[in-house]
Amino acid sequence: MPAGITALDMILPPRAIPLLLLLLIVTPIVILTAESLFIPLIDWARTRMMAPAGTLEATMNDLPTYFFIKLIAFVILSFLGGFQLLLRIKSIYYTTWARAFPRPHSLHMDYQTDNDRGMLALIQWKLYQVSMIAFPPLVMGGVTFLVGLLELYLFNTFSDLSFVVLSVQLTIELFLIMMLGLFTLFSFFNSLWTAVTSLFGDIVAVTEPDLPNSIILQRCGRIAFSSPYTYLMLPAYGLLVLGVLGEIFWLLSAVDIQQFISFQANLPVIAGMEVVTLAWYLGFSYLKFFTYHHGLSLYYRKLPAQIKDCFTTPPANSNLFEGNPTAFRI
């Protein structure tokens, strides 16, 4: 361990302890409050869609205006209180671990440990990552849906006209919708691949906050499978996701928000499940950090010598990329 860092600091950094306790309290409140708000909203939307035309005006008064104000306020506050809280905890752990890990290669910069800059870079990266994953399939799915509606309208309009050959029209429409469907399916699998290969992006953003998000995404793609530990990390990530989804499903089916805030729920069981899940999440985060460090070092070692000769070795204890313009960045 470097000077000033203990094993306890690696497991429970002092700055992260109050945030971890707050996360254990906030998480079930956010989940149960979301259930109490979104289920009535879904029922209201389904009632509006299925209601006869003459009774539509009556269904619009089922949910008052202040309900939608509460819904908007909940979305904003849950983002500020849940999403950013989790990112703050992650940035604290990554900067703590970054002080304990040496530079992965002599040509690479030292990991930066500025928690505030790392937090800002992490938020920007998460927004960029979500847009790169969700935007392509949403756009292609929307285009396919609109083209399908347009084809249905054209078919109903021209199917009875004698100068339009029905077989030709059907062939063109089916070919077009099948091609768009294939592009939509391809964009979905491409987004899934991006989600898997960009898992290291949050580590890069925290430890090198000066890098643009596009460069972070490129680096993640290059070193995604450099380390053999990746094949242990991915199943661990899958188990973590399944465990979190299972816990949320149990919480929603066994507890409601009124029971929780009135202390009528089985709080020790809920707290125990949260602690186990949080410990598994932190263990996975450390495995991911170690896998990234190992994969980056292996990637540097495999680079051709003629590429390595184009760059100079950064000085020791260097933290700012701007001060070392010749440092090697993949």
Maximum Cα interatomic distance, the chain, rounded to a whole number of Å = 86
* pLDDT category of residue 322 using cuts at 50, 70 and 90: very low
What angle, 0 to 180 degrees and rounded to 10, lies between the N-to-C axes of helices 84-100 and 267-301?
50
Contact 250, 209 (CB under 8 A): no
* Average pLDDT, integer, range 139-165: 75
What angle, 0 to 180 degrees and rounded to 10, lies between the N-to-C axes of helices 115-158 and 166-197?
170
**Mean pLDDT score across all residues of the chain:** 82
pLDDT tens string 245-290: 998 898 888 888 888 878 888 888 988 999 999 999 999 999 999 9
Percentage of the chain beyond pLDDT 90 is 39
- Residue 263 backbone class (left: φ over 0; alpha: ψ -120 to 50; beta: rest): left
pLDDT tens string 178-188: 888 899 999 99
pTM (predicted TM-score) = 0.81
SS3 string, 47-93, reads HHHHCCHHHHHHHCCCCCHHHHHHHHHHHHHHHHHHHHHHHHHHHHH
Q: Which residues, 6+ apart, have CB-to-CB distance to 29 below 8 Å?
A: 257, 260, 261
Distance CA 110, CA 101 (A): 9
Distance CA 209, CA 122 (A): 8
pLDDT tens string 10-30: 888 999 999 999 888 888 888
pLDDT at 323 over 50: no
Contact 199, 237 (CB under 8 A): yes
Distance CA 159, CA 166 (A): 6
pLDDT at 236 over 70: yes
Give pLDDT, residue 328: 47
- Range of lowest pLDDT (19-28, 62-71, 127-136, 178-187): 62-71
The DSSP element (H or E) to which 103 belongs, if any, is none
Distance CA 150, CA 133 (A): 27
Give pLDDT, residue 83: 81
Give pLDDT, residue 220: 92
